Amino acid sequence: MVGRMAVVSDTGRRRRRNEDAFVCAPPLFAVADGMGGAQAGEVASGLAAAVLEEGAGDERGEERVASLIQEANRRVFQRSNEDAATSGMGTTMTVALVDSSSGTIAFGHVGDSRAYRVRDGQLEQLTDDHSLVGELVRSGKLSPEEAETHPQRSVITRALGTEPDVDVDTFTVEARPDDLYLLCSDGLTDMISADEIFAVLDGSDDLELAARALIEAANEGGGEDNITVVLFQIGHQGEVEQTAQIPVAVEPVEDDEDTLSGLDPVPVVDTAVIPAAVVEEHLQRVDAESPDSEQGRPKRRRRILPLLALVLLILLIAVLVELALWGL
Ligand code: MG
C-alpha cells in the first residue's frame, strides 16, 4: 500500500549534533526530536525510535500507535531516572502506521513534530502542536502569523520521557492512492512556511529530490535546528516499494546549544517543556488579572531546563499582560 518513500535527516547549520531520530519501516513511520543536555537528546530520540522498530504487539491502528508511544515514554523515562547524565531528557514523537487491510493510517503524536498530507493539490496539517504558541493560537491569544516568529515557539507542553505517563493524541485518516504524507521535526517548520513546503511537494515525482529540497530550503532559511523529513506516498496496487535514505552532511557553522547557560545576552531558545497545565494556569491568571493567585499550582515540576523555562514563564506572563493591555 505504501508506494514511494524517502527520509532525510540533517544536523542543520547551527547545531553540533543531530538529536532527531526517525523510523522508516513500512508500514510504520516516525520522527522524534530529542532534547536534553549533553548528548541526552540523542539518547531520548534514539531510544524512542528503537522501541518503535521493535514494534511487537497484537493491537492495530490507534491502539497500537498509542501503546508503542507509551512504551517509548516508559523506556526514556526509566533511562533518565537510572542515568544521571541523561536526567530530564525527553523527545517529541509523531508516528504514522499504515493499515492496508482497512485502507487507513493511524497517527499518534506528542510534542511539536508535525504530520502533513498533500491531497488533491492541497497541503493539510494533520497534527496540533503541543507547544506554548500552539496553545496560545488555539486560545485566540496569538495569531498564526505571530506564532511563526514567536521567540518561545520551541517550548513544548508535552514530551516523551519526562513523566511516567504521557498524553498521546491519536487519530485515523483514510488512505487514498497518491496521498503524500510528511512527518517532520520543527527544524523544518520553524524555518520554512507551509506554502514553501507545499511548493516543494506539490506534483513531486521524486520523493528523494523533494526531501532534499525541503532540507535545503530549511538550511537556506537559517538551519537553526536539526531537520528531519519523512515522506511516504500511498501507492496503487502492485507498485514496487522504493526507499531512499539520504544523510545530508552539513558542516555546523556555530553551536548554539552552549548559549543555554545564559551567558549569551540573547540566548537562542532550545526546546523546553512546560506542562499544558502550567500554560493553562497562566492563561487563566492573565484572564482573571490576578497574577499572584496561589491556587491551581501544578503538582509536578517540569523536568527540562528548569531555569530557562522559569525565565520563559516570566517572559510569557509579561507578553500576555501586554497583549491583554492592548486588548483593552
Ligand atoms: Mg527540533
Residue bearing the bigger pLDDT, 144 or 249: 144
The pLDDT of residue 324 is: 80
CA of 292 to the centre of ligand 1 (A): 33
CA of 186 to the centre of ligand 1 (A): 5
- Domain map (residue ranges) of the chain: 2-273, 301-327
Quote the CA–CA distance of 157 and 138 in Å, as a whole number. Answer: 13
| For residues 263-269, average pLDDT | 33
Q: Which of 8-12, 125-129, 246-250, 323-327 has the lowest mean pLDDT?
A: 246-250
The pLDDT of residue 311 is: 73
Quote the CA–CA distance of 89 and 36 in Å, as a whole number. Answer: 4
Between vectors from CA 226 to CA 42 and to CA 8, what angle results, nearest 5°?
95
| For residues 215-234, average pLDDT | 97
What residue type is 118 in one-letter code?
V
CA of 255 to the centre of ligand 1 (A): 14
> Which residues have CB atoms below 5 A from the ion given as ligand 1?
33, 185-187, 225
Residue 251 predicted with pLDDT over 80: no
User: Any idea of the CA torsion for 230, 25, 58, 112, to the nearest 10 degrees?
Assistant: -20
Q: Which of 57-71, 236-250, 256-270, 278-292 has the lowest mean pLDDT?
A: 256-270
What residue type is 23 in one-letter code?
V
117-144 residue pLDDT tens:
999 999 999 999 999 999 999 999 999 8
The pLDDT of residue 307 is: 59
CA of 187 to the centre of ligand 1 (A): 5
Residue bearing the bigger pLDDT, 244 or 81: 81
Residue 297 predicted with pLDDT over 80: no
CA of 7 to the centre of ligand 1 (A): 16
CA of 271 to the centre of ligand 1 (A): 7
CA of 221 to the centre of ligand 1 (A): 15
CA dihedral over 46, 72, 168, 1, signed as positive or negative: positive
The pLDDT of residue 263 is: 32
CA of 152 to the centre of ligand 1 (A): 13
Strands (E), 14-161: 20-25, 28-35, 90-91, 93-99, 104-110, 114-119, 122-125, 155-156
174-201 residue pLDDT tens:
999 999 999 999 999 999 999 999 999 9
Quote the CA–CA distance of 6 and 180 in Å, as a whole number. Answer: 11
CA of 302 to the centre of ligand 1 (A): 19
Q: Which of 94-103, 248-257, 297-306 has the highest mean pLDDT?
A: 94-103
DSSP code for 97: E
The confidence band for 259, taking pLDDT boundaries of 50, 70 and 90, is very low
CA of 87 to the centre of ligand 1 (A): 19
Query: What share of the chain has pLDDT > 90, as a percent?
Result: 62
Collapsing DSSP states into helix, strand and coil, what is residue 30? strand
Q: With contact defined as beta carbons under 8 Å apart, do 123 and 199 qualify?
A: no
The pLDDT of residue 1 is: 85
The confidence band for 267, taking pLDDT boundaries of 50, 70 and 90, is very low
* Domain 2-273: which CATH number of 1.10.10.60, 3.60.40.10, 3.30.1490.480, 3.40.50.300: 3.60.40.10
Residue 260 predicted with pLDDT over 60: no
Reading the block at residue 122, the C-alpha cell is 492541497
The pLDDT of residue 278 is: 62
CA of 158 to the centre of ligand 1 (A): 14
The pLDDT of residue 276 is: 59
